[in-house]
Structure 1
Amino acid sequence: MNFKGKDKRDAYMNTLYVHHDFNGKAGLTLGRMDLFLGQTGLQYDDTFDGAMATIGSKKLAADIGYGRFIGGNLGKADTKEERAAAIARVYGRSGRLAYDAEYIQGEDKYDARIWGAGLTAGVTEDIDIFGDYYQNTDYKNDPQTWTAGLAFGHYNMKKPGTFRIAGQYISAEKGSFLNDTTYTASAAGLVEDRNDINRSRFWLASADLVLMKNVRLHGEYAFDVKINGKAKTNYDDLATVSLNYVF
C-alpha cells in the first residue's frame, strides 16, 4: 500500500482475531487464529478462520468451534471454501502428562470425519515419550495417520545451552492427513500432493539448541522413506536447518 503515490495495492492481514475472557475460566475467539492439533503438530499447525469457544484450565480444557482450515486438505476437500468444519477438542496437562483428543467434522460430501488423540509422558525429568493418532472414519478404508517417538531434554528460549533431541516414526495415509504439518523435513505430505501415493512412512530425527537468549537452532532429518501406491519413485533423505528468533 502506497499512502503518498497513486499506486493502489491490496492490503491484507495474515492473522487477525479478537478474544474475550470470561472470568479466566472461559473465552471466545473470533477471526483468523493459530491452530495446533495434537502433541506434535504432525496433523495441523497453521491458521483457522472462524469462531472458537474455550472453557477450563491448564489441567483440562475444552474447545468447540466452527470455521475453515486455511491450509492443507480435509478429506476430499481441497480449496479453502471447501475446508469448512466443526471442531471439538479436550486437552490438558497434569504433572508429567500432556494429553488431547480431537474431533473434526467436515461436510458429508467431502468424506471428512476425523478423530484423534495424543499423549506426551515424562518418563523422567529429561526423557519423554510422545505420540499422535488420527483416523478418518468417513473416508474409504478408514485411513490413519500416526506418529510415536522418544525425546531427550527440554529447551528454554531464555536459557542458552538448553536443548532437545528427538526421534520418531511417522505413517500418513491419504484422507486422514490434513497436510499442513509443523515439520519442514517431512515426507508425509506426499499422500496428498500426489494422486499415485496413498501412504507414506519414514523416520524423523530432530534437534533444538538455544544458542543465546531468544535464538534457537533447529534441525530435522527424515530418512528411510517408504511409499505405497502406484508411484515407482524412490525418495532420498530430507534435511533442513533453521534459525528461529523470538522478539
Structure 2
Amino acid sequence: MSRVICTIDENQIAIVSLNRPDKLNAIDMEMFKAVNAITRELKNDQRVRAVIVRGEGSDFCSGLDVKSLLTSKSGALSLLFKWWPTRANDAQRFSLGWRDIPCPVIFSIHGRCWGGGLQLASGGDFRIASPDATFSIMEAKWGLIPDMGGAIAFRELMRKDHTLEMAMTAKEIDSQTAKEYGLVTKVADDPYDCAYQLALECINRSPDVLAANKKLYHNTWWSSQGKALLLETWYQIKVGIGKNRTIAAKRERNPDNKPDYLPRKFK
C-alpha cells in the first residue's frame, strides 16, 4: 500500500493523503520517502494551484513509528545525513519541503497530530483542525528533541515559552489551545471542507501572486529591513510585468466573464 496518495482535481487542487490508517499514519522510512518525493513533484508542477494535506483513518498522524525506525539504524542515520551542515536533511525536508511548493499548502488535521506529525503540519502555510484534534511535541518521551525542521517552524508560529513547555514536557494540548498558541489557523467541525473552501478562495487570485507572496514572506519574515524592502520591490516588478497581472485586472472588471489564469511563471 502506498504510504501517500496524491490526486489533482478539476480545480487543480492537489489532495495529498497520508495512507497508513492501520498504524495511525505513523511515520516510517517509506512514508519519509513518499512525502519527500511528493513535495519535489508538486514543487515543479505548474498545474497545481493549491495543496491540501490530510490523513486517512482516525488520526492525522501519531508521530514517528519508533519501533520501525530503530530496527534499522542505518536507515535512521540516513535521514539525518547531510552533505552541507546548513542544508536540510531528509528528515527536515519532510516538513520544510512544503515551504518550497509555490502555492498555498493547507493541512487538514483531525485526531492525533503528534511528534513528527506536528512538525510535518507546521511546514504548511495553514493548519485547520477539528475540535477533537490533539497536538504534542512528544519527542522528549523517547529521549529525543524535535529535529524535523521544528526549530524553524515553531519559532514562526509560537512564543518561545510555549514551544519550550511543549518540547520539554511532551504534553498534549487540544485544538483550541493550539489555536491560542499559533499552531492552528482555524478550528472547524469539518476541517477538510474548511481547507477546501480556503483553497478555492486562494485560487481565485493569480498563481503568480500566490507564489510571490509565499516566497516573499518566507524569505523576509526574519530578515533585515533592507532585504525585505529589496525583495518586496523585486517581486512586485516580476509579477507586475507578467500576463497574469493583466488577467487579474480583467477578472475584477468583468466578474461575470472571468478569463482563466495562465500557468504560474513566477519563480
Confirm or deny a common fold (TM above 0.5). Answer: no
Q: Which structure is higher in RCO with an 8 Å CA cutoff and minimum separation 6?
A: 2
TM bucket, shorter chain: under 0.3
Greater helix proportion: 2
